[in-house]
Amino acid sequence: MKHQNDLHHWLNLLRVPGIGPKRFMSALHHFNTPQSVMNSALKTLTAKGVPQNVAQAIVDTNDNASQADIEWLKQSSIHHIITIADNAYPEQLKSINDPPPILFAKGSLSCLKDPQLAIVGSRNPTTGGRDNAQQFAKHLAGNGLTITSGLALGIDGFAHKGALDSLASPTIAVTATGLDITYPSKHQKLADFIVENSGLILSEYPIGTPVKAPFFPRRNRIISGISLGTLVVEAAIKSGSLITARNAMEQGKEVFAIPGSIHNPLAKGCHRLIREGAKLVETAEDILEELAPQLQTFLQSPIENSASNTDASYEETTQDVLSSDQRLILEAMGFDPVSIDRMVVQTGLTIDVVSSILLLLELHGHISACGGGQYVRLNTSVTP
């Protein structure tokens, strides 16, 4: 499929009643470009398998159907419309069963290239659930993960807030309305803050699309689709967040769940997911350890970047590229297990910074986790 840089034809096709992502992509497969689809006769469309009612809707669609979308795009430099043929379109999303052919975005597109973790859960969480969502998000964002959620009340909102609290990584909110509408309206300030802090608001729906119940479950496939994994914090048996988790499973992504009391109805959904194969997690470190192989492809290695064919020894090279904070951490470690808390006290660094550095050092074989939140140095040739 060749992208013709003719955005309004893409948008006109998107606005055809009854088209949907699968029919949109099928039409592109048969006709190559949206313009060819929109310019085809009724008989040609039906001959290619387009249902009669959809074919008629294509023929009847006004050439100016996408005017509202184009006007919105022109309003601001942080307004974006991305087609599946664009380089900015998330690669992970292309591989799901029914990827959205077009994404509307407000904010910084660069965070779509960052490693993401979805955090979802109940709209009416317990106090513990709210705290877990915010603290897990803060810690994970502090370790380089972009937190993705749905901007809903409850767990979603606290996940976004926790990511923002980290001051380290942006957060992405995937909505189920047009981007000219913020739902829920109570989260307008949160949405603005996300954008102001290098984050992104994302939707597959055209400008002006109102709140409709069926759109929310469909939105969830995008949340899981652009993420390495999904964490469910609290969820009842019929919670919509279980849809996100099952989407993640179907997409081959990791699913994590926080257990709770057997008497808490908001823990039952998490317990079901764990029985179905989700990974039980008690700390953010559990998630980081599980995702370490995938994160390694995203994290830049200062050691690898320094590789050269010089005669310098490994020790000298490593000393040159280790940051001052990394050296500080190694100085605080001996060859006996030491806890994160002790390293925080000895270095004066925050626990988020210490955890992030420990992950990097572990990925490059300088230290090893030995359980109970303790670490030990491995490489005797590395001198802090």
3-state secondary structure the chain: CCCCCCHHHHHHHHCCCCCHHHHHHHHHHHHCCHHHHHCCCHHHHHHCCCCHHHHHHHHHCCCCCCHHHHHHHHHCCCEEEEECCCCCCCHHHHCCCCCCCEEEEEECHHHHHCCEEEEECCCCCCHHHHHHHHHHHHHHHHCCCEEEECCCCCHHHHHHHHHHHHCCCCEEEECCCCCCCCCCHHHHHHHHHHHHCCCEEEECCCCCCCCCCCHHHHHHHHHHHCCCEEEECCCCCCCCHHHHHHHHHHCCCEEEECCCCCCCHHHHHHHHHHHCCCEECCCHHHHHHHHHHHHHCCCCCHHHHCCCCCCCCHHHHHHHHCCHHHHHHHHHCCCCCEEHHHHHHHHCCCHHHHHHHHHHHHHCCCEEECCCCEEEECCCCCCC
Q: How many CA atoms lie within 13 A of 370 on its CB side?
A: 12
Phi, psi of 312 (to 5 degrees): -65, 145
Instruction: Supply the pLDDT for residue 105.
Output: 99
Phi, psi of 301 (to 5 degrees): -95, 110
Phi-psi region of 121 (alpha: psi -120 to 50; beta: other; left: phi over 0): left
Asked if 172 contacts 183 with a C-beta cutoff of 8 angstroms, the reply is no
Instruction: Supply the pLDDT for residue 294.
Output: 83
Amino acid sitting at position 100: P
Q: Which residues pair with 149 in a beta bridge?
A: 173
Domains in the chain, CATH or no CATH each: 7-65 (1.10.150), 91-293 (3.40.50.450), 302-377 (1.10.10.10)
Instruction: Supply the pLDDT for residue 298.
Output: 60
pLDDT digits (tens, 9 = 90+) for 64-94: 999 999 999 999 999 999 999 999 999 999 9
Which range of 289-303, 334-348, 354-368 scores highest in mean pLDDT? It is 334-348
Q: Which of 215, 236, 208, 117 is nearest to 166 (CA)?
A: 117
C-alpha 49/C-alpha 39 separation (Å) is 16
pLDDT digits (tens, 9 = 90+) for 185-227: 999 999 999 999 999 999 999 999 999 999 999 999 999 999 9
For residue 359, the Cα-to-chain-centroid distance in whole angstroms is 20
**pLDDT for 337 beyond 90:** no
Asked if 87 contacts 112 with a C-beta cutoff of 8 angstroms, the reply is no
- pLDDT confidence of 303, banded at 50, 70, 90? very low
Q: Poorest-confidence range of 62-76, 172-186, 190-204, 329-343?
A: 329-343
The pair of structure tokens assigned to 248 is 């993640």
Asked if 182 contacts 206 with a C-beta cutoff of 8 angstroms, the reply is no
The pair of structure tokens assigned to 91 is 């690669």
Which range of 189-203, 292-306, 313-327 scores highest in mean pLDDT? It is 189-203
Residue with the two structure tokens 């370790």: 143
Percent of the chain with pLDDT over 90: 71
- pLDDT confidence of 326, banded at 50, 70, 90? confident
Q: Which residues pair with 279 in a beta bridge?
A: 256
C-alpha 240/C-alpha 242 separation (Å) is 5
